[in-house]
Structure formats: structure tokens, C-alpha cells
Amino acid sequence: MDLDAFAWLLTDEGQRLLARATEMTAAADPGKDASLAVQTALRKDETAAHVAAAMTQVDLRRKAGAKFGDLAPKMYFTPDGLEQATRLAVAHHRAARLRAFDATSVIDLGCGIGGDLIASSRAGLTAAGVDNDPERVAVAQANLDALGLAGAVTVADATAVDHSPFDIAYADPARRGAKGRVFSAEGWTPPWSWVETLFARDACVKVAPGIPHDLVPDQVEAEWVSDRGEVKEAALWSGSLASTRRRATVIGERGLATLTSEDDPGGEVDSVEEFLYEPDGAVIRAGLVTAVAAGVQGHLIDEHIAYVTSTASFETPFARGYQVVEELPYREKQLKAALRERGIGKLTIKKRGVQIVPEQLRKRLALSGDEEGTIVLTRVAGEGTCLLVRPF
């Protein structure tokens, strides 16, 4: 990003260009290359650098709607900053947890474009951020200013900052490098060895949802969070912020629900009953599937498979429920005949614990009936099983 062009974009003249670019893009013919046409028209009156800066923000604001909702049209982004930013609903949940523990100030050690700073400031926390990238710092400050929020950001090395004056230290280590995603925690920026030093105090660290359980230190709470059915991240809470060992938090249209290791009595394995439950991904990552089983008065269908079954029908935020209609043949040829016999032409295939690619299987089945159906391909007590189910 051209920092000079971005700074100009924040001026009155730049804001007029940005508004014009937004309006022209919205009115452009979607069947044509709208962006190129708008850029060509704008360059008659503006420099190429200024037009590029404006069009970049128009495009990124459109993409940012999924993460930032109604705030996106007022905000600024960089491509990598948007990709790495926390969804606003998740950031708000985290900020609310901080307020619940009576925190009044937080320092974001690697603030990126300021997504978590925004949530913290909106929650009433005194928020400050540092980042070693001048572009991200400029964008983060612009976002706070655009939304009328208090907060300060500066260019600095997170590992060299004195964070002791703040109630909470928050960090989101970068998990991407020049060659793509970094899978080794020590390869993060800052590395895991530095992250561990934060756990000696009240801190929260955002990590990838695939973090191994054995990497989480004792006395640190690991929380997996899903938003609208997608597992977005895990957060590690230390010091007085840690209230359990493992937690699954589910954010949905009706609000937020949370499940902890204290809710998990363990569970048994038994045969498939009338109802089948597919736990949310955050529950699975947190290893709390048997807690869901307890909540629906059920049990596992296999000790290695994250499906729960019960004789009772429950509505739970932690799992999607299905009524088991019948068991169908697991072998492909017999399954195809059974589905055709039932007139099923549109088929949803769910699978867990079996080596099947749903798209390829659906193509081989070549169904053509008028009915819709859902099958679950999985293992029950170690045996391949196909269940015809009905979502509820």
C-alpha cells in the first residue's frame, strides 16, 4: 500500500474521491468489468495512485462485510490485514469477557488493522495497540478515528514493549509468512517462546483453532469459538482470566452459548437411537462432545466419532439435530438402489470418520428422483454405516 496515497485518502479531497468511487462502483453494470471502467473514468480527474488507493478500499470494504457488518463501509483495510482480522462478533465477545473480569485497560501486541482495538474501545476499555508494520498502524488509527473511538496505536516491536502498565496483554501472533501458512508455533511472529512469557500475567492470546491440546500450558484456559457455524479461532486465557480448562463458545443468531470442561461427565458408547446430533466444530475442537451427549441425555455412537445419539429430541446451540429415519445399505451399489427406490434425487451427504468424498459419491450415484434426502456416512462401533436422516 502507498502510505502517502492512503494519507491523502483521509483528507477532505480524498474522502470525496472515495465516496465518488463507491457510488460509481455501486451503479456500474455488474455484467462488465465495473472496477476497470470506474478507474478509467476517475483517472480523468485524479492521479493513478489516488484512484488506486480509493478503489482498493471500495473492494476491501465490500469483502469486509462478512466480518465487520455495518461498520465495514466506514472502515479501512489492507488485503492481508482483512484476512487476518478477527470477526467483529468474536472480538466483541472477547472484549466482553475482559470487562466481566473488571479489566479497564488492554494493550494489543500486534494490532493489525485494529479489529480487536475497535471491540475493546466500544466495550469501554482503554485500548492501545502496537504493530511493526507502518501500513497496518496507519489503517488501525484511521479505523479508530473513522468510528469515533478512543485509542492509540504506534509502530513498535511487540516483544520489546513494556506491557505491565495495562491490566491485560492481548496478542495475535501472525501465522503466515512469505511462503504461506506457518504450522510450527515457534515459527509464528512473535514466536511461541515469547507467547509463553505472557502467561505469567493476565493475558489473552489468539491462536489457530487447530492448536494441539498438549501445547496449552497448565493453568491456561483454551477457548474455541465458532461464529454462525464456522470455527474461527481459539483463545488462550491466563492468570485471573482463566476460569476453566477447556471451553467451547458458540455465537449464533440467537446470541452466545458456552460449554466448559466442568459440564463434561464423560460418556458411553452405544447403538444409534431415534435422534442423531452433530456437535458444533468448536465443541469438537474443545474435546467436549461427551458434554453435548450429557446435555441431550444421550451417548456416542463410536468412541472415535463426534456424533451423539439419543432417544429424546432436544434443541441445543451446541449441535445440529436430525431424526434418524432408517439405516440404509453402506455399500455403494446397494445404497444407490435404495435411494432410487425412495425417489431421492437431491442428496445431502454428511460424513465423519470414513474415507469418502461426498461430491464424487454424489456424481457416481447419479440420482434423478423428485425427493430430497440427507444421509450420514460414518462408523458405528467401528463399522461403516449409512443413516437416512431428517434435519430438525
pLDDT in tens, 93-137: 999 999 999 999 999 999 999 999 999 999 999 999 999 999 999
What pLDDT does 25 receive? 92
pLDDT in tens, 298-345: 999 999 999 999 999 999 999 999 999 999 999 999 999 999 999 999
What pLDDT does 1 receive? 83
Collect all residues with Cβ–Cβ distance below 8 Å to 381 and sequence separation of at least 6: 269, 271, 301, 302
Lowest mean pLDDT among 56-65, 179-188, 238-247, 249-258: 179-188
Report percent pLDDT > 70 for the chain.
97
What pLDDT does 180 receive? 64
pLDDT in tens, 179-222: 667 678 888 889 999 999 999 999 999 999 999 999 999 999 99
pLDDT in tens, 21-61: 999 999 887 666 778 889 989 999 899 999 999 999 999 99
pLDDT category of residue 178 using cuts at 50, 70 and 90:
low
Q: Span 266-278, mean pLDDT? A: 96
Report percent pLDDT > 90 for the chain.
90
What pLDDT does 254 receive? 87
What pLDDT does 198 receive? 97
Whether residue 17 has pLDDT greater than 90: yes
Whether residue 177 has pLDDT greater than 70: no
